[in-house]
Amino acid sequence: MEKDRCSANKIGRQAILARGSRNGAGKAIPCVHAYLRHGDWYDDPDVDLREWPKYADFVVAMMRDRRVIETTDDRRPSGQPRRTGYVGVWEIDDFQLIPNYANGRHHLRFRFVRRLDE
């Protein structure tokens, strides 16, 4: 696995764990993109659970554990993000996953409540 730029700090370790390993509590922490944050709200209108089935596990973890890791990203030519750094670990609330019946995708929204890392 490629070593992340911030892997030496607490946030980086948690983000690496979120990629597929498990932390001490046995739960992954989903990462979310800073460019989709608007004030206290995360707003992603284009979540495709059919094309990316692993996102369903992330959605379940967000709903269950109410925490995420906010990351910074660059966009690849394919449009997919490439993680460049870590902002923080956040408690979240007001979680919404709204189906878009016109295109089969979902709109993911939640509110950032408070920063958990130090």
Whether 52 is covered by a domain: the verdict is: yes
Whether 25 is covered by a domain: the verdict is: no
Whether 24 is covered by a domain: the verdict is: no
Model confidence at 29: pLDDT above 70:
yes
pLDDT digits (tens, 9 = 90+) for 55-77: 888 898 999 999 999 999 888 88
CA atoms within a 13 Å half-sphere pointing along the CA-CB vector of 101? 0
Whether 7 is covered by a domain: the verdict is: no
Name the residue range of residue 92's domain. 30-115
C-alpha to C-alpha distance for 102 and 111, rounded to whole angstroms = 25
C-alpha to C-alpha distance for 43 and 87, rounded to whole angstroms = 17
Instruction: Report the predicted TM-score, pTM, of the whole model to 2 decimal places.
Output: 0.74
Whether 22 is covered by a domain: the verdict is: no
C-alpha to C-alpha distance for 90 and 49, rounded to whole angstroms = 23
Q: Report the number of distinct structural domains present in the chain.
A: 1
